[in-house]
């Protein structure tokens, strides 16, 4: 018997448990993802099945299955399982658990000590594990979302094996969600939920590889579903959007005329009409509008409607804001007027605005692929062993200061976001980009 009973107390079991907890896999066959570690014939799976496990660190993003894998290991190997939180425990509690584990070992039982968020332990607390790991009193399984090279001391790291877990793929998350919708004992099968496959996929994409987040979103959507004529709980697109939405912070909801005037100023600048822009600026300032608000909007115009067609527009708008902040009104109104006229007459381009809009769209609607290994810095020997920095090409070593190395994730290969126009300075940038693309195309040709 371990010091801390791994099974929940009866009072805890009686209360409702989150879907993510109820659907936690109970065997390796139920475990989703991590095939590079747990696929048939892989060393870690064989060690678990042969009951030959050793102390290890599980390193991976939230929701990748670190806690679940540790629990399955303890169940599969018939070991006492002690769950330990680095957030709640200190050195005293560590020693108490170690003493109990040592006594348990005398009776021929092995103790697996699972330490969640092990990176939160300081050096002295991590050192407290060392003698017990060395003697074999415990099998330590630490879980961390942080790089063990930096967060786990070298003495403990040398006595453990680090396994790197990956975020789940969209298809793997969909499998888990479908399983939860069908499972009548642990999941939502008894609720007769009706949800379109494309909505399940949407939940999976927005979970970004985090199984726990996906389960939580599905559970929230199921709770908001309304029954149809056949008694089925229908999850609609609106419900899913409500469940996954992110809170938006608005500047101010009051004063329609306030927004009408700033809209007129912005569109006059965009339309290269300095007279109208000056008029709407004066209307706002004379009505008592906050000049710093106007300055912030001018900075936005410089980025949204001019961009790199005139790289001086943004510094000028920022300088106007600084001038207003320094001298105030009425002296600062001329600085705002100067910036307004300059922006109105500057060459226009929304290439940056449109390109960044596509970036945000891709960031929200596609899976956030991990940074390719060749773009990661191999700061430690362990990171180098995992392939960090392998095949990286240093552009400064190339005669043209260019390489054909891919820098986007694989799922966005050859994506183009910035498409410069022929206006102002952007014309030179467009010619430069065309030359770079032609060089890379030539390099990739047989």
The CA-atom distances, in angstroms, between 6 and each of 15, 30, 82, 138 are 17, 21, 6, 15
The answer to whether residue 208 is domain-embedded is yes
342 touches 275 (CB < 8 A): no
Above 90 in pLDDT, residue 275?
yes
Say if residue 159 is in the same domain as residue 207. Answer: no
227 pLDDT tier (thresholds 50, 70, 90): confident
Are residues 378 and 294 both part of a single domain?
no
Does the pLDDT of residue 350 top 70, yes or no? yes
In a domain, 272, yes or no: yes
**8 Å CB contact between 307 and 347:** no
In a domain, 156, yes or no: yes
Instruction: Note whether 143 and 196 are same-domain residues.
Output: no
pLDDT averaged over the chain? 86
Domain stop point among 111, 143, 164: 164
Look at residues 421, 305, 416 and name the one whose alpha carbon lies nearest to residue 362.
Answer: 416
Q: Is residue 95 part of a domain?
A: yes
User: How many residues in total does the chain contain?
Assistant: 446
Q: 């709980």: which residue's tokens?
A: 233
The angle formed by the CA atoms of residues 202, 205 and 209, to the nearest 5 degrees, is: 145
Residues 270, 180 within the same domain: no
CATH number at residue 127: 3.40.50.300
Above 60 in pLDDT, residue 311? yes
Lowest mean pLDDT among 110-119, 187-196, 245-254, 426-435: 245-254
Residues 147 and 184 reside in one and the same domain = no
Cα(414)–Cα(401) distance, integer angstroms: 20
Are 401 and 324 in the same domain? no
Question: Is residue 167 a contact partner of residue 207, using CB atoms and an 8 Å limit?
Answer: no
Domain end, chosen from 221, 244, 267, is at 244
**Could you tell me if 160 and 14 lie in one domain?**
yes
Measured in degrees and rounded to the nearest 5, phi and psi for residue 83 equal -95, 130
CA 269/CA 320 separation, integer angstroms:
16
Q: Is the pLDDT of residue 313 over 90?
A: yes
**22 against 7, higher pLDDT:** 22
* pLDDT given for residue 5 in this prediction: 42
Q: Are residues 270 and 299 in the same domain?
A: yes
Which domain range does residue 384 map to?
A: 368-444
CATH at residue 210: 1.10.8.60
What is the rounded distance in angstroms from the CA atom of residue 216 to the CA atom of residue 20? 7
Residue 429 confidence class, pLDDT cut points 50, 70, 90? very high
Q: Please tell me which residue, 231 or 95, carries the higher pLDDT value.
A: 231
Residue 283 lies in a domain: yes
Examine the domain organization and report whether 45 and 151 are in the same domain.
yes
What pTM did the predictor assign?
0.69
pLDDT at 89: 64
Contact criterion met (CB below 8 Å) for 48 and 7: no
- pLDDT tens digits, 153-178: 888 899 899 999 988 888 999 999 99
pLDDT tens, position by position, 405-423: 989 998 898 889 999 999 9
User: Is residue 23 a part of any domain in this protein?
Assistant: yes
Query: pLDDT at residue 142 above 50?
Result: yes
Residues 68 and 143 placed together within one structural domain of the fold: yes
- Within-domain flag for 354: no
Give residue-wise pLDDT tens across range 59-96: 998 888 999 999 898 888 877 888 877 666 666 777 77
Whether 355 is covered by a domain: the verdict is no
Give me the number of domains the chain comprises.
4
- The answer to whether residues 127 and 42 belong to one domain is yes
Residues 232 and 275 in one domain: no
């Amino acid at each position: 018997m371990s010091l801390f009973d791994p099974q929940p107390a009866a009072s805890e079991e009686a209360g409702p448990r989150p879907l993510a907890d109820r659907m936690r896999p109970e065997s390796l066959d139920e475990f989703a993802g991590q095939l590079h570690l747990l696929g048939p014939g892989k060393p870690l799976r064989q060690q678990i099945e042969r009951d030959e496990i050793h102390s290890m660190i599980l390193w991976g993003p939230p929701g990748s299955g670190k806690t679940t894998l540790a629990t399955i290991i303890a169940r599969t190997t018939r070991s006492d399982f002690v769950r330990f939180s680095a957030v709640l425990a200190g050195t005293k509690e560590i020693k108490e658990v170690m003493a109990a584990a040592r006594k348990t070992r005398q009776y021929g039982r092995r103790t697996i000590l699972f330490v969640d968020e092990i990176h939160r332990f300081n050096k002295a607390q991590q050192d407290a594990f060392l003698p017990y790991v060395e003697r074999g009193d415990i099998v330590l399984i630490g879980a961390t979302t942080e790089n063990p090279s930096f967060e786990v001391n070298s003495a403990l790291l040398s006595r453990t094996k680090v396994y790197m877990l990956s975020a789940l793929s969209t298809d793997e998350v969909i499998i888990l969600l479908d399983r939860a919708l069908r499972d009548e004992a642990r999941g939502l099968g008894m609720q007769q939920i009706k949800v379109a496959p494309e909505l399940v996929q949407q939940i999976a994409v927005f979970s970004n590889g985090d199984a726990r987040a996906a389960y939580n979103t599905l559970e929230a959507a199921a709770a908001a579903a309304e029954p149809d004529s056949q008694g089925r709980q229908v999850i609609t697109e609106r419900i899913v959007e409500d469940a996954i939405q992110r809170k938006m912070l608005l500047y101010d909801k009051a004063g329609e005329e306030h927004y009408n005037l700033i809209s007129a100023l912005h569109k006059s600048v965009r339309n290269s009409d300095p007279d109208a822009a000056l008029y709407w600026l004066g209307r706002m300032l004379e009505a008592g509008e906050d000049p710093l608000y106007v300055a912030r909007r001018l900075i936005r115009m410089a980025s949204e409607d001019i961009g790199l067609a005139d790289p001086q527009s943004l510094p000028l708008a920022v300088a106007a804001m600084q001038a207003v902040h320094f001298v105030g009104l009425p002296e600062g109104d001329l600085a705002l007027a100067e910036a307004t006229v300059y922006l109105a007459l500057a060459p226009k381009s929304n290439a940056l605005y449109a390109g960044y809009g596509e970036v945000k769209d891709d960031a929200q609607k596609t899976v956030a692929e991990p940074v390719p290994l060749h773009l990661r810095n191999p700061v430690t020997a362990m990171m180098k062993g995992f392939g960090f920095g392998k095949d990286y090409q240093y552009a400064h070593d190339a005669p043209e200061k260019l390489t054909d190395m891919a820098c986007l994730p694989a799922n966005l290969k050859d994506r183009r976001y910035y498409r410069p126009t022929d206006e102002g300075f952007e014309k030179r940038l467009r010619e430069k980009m065309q030359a770079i693309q032609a060089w890379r195309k030539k390099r990739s040709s047989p």
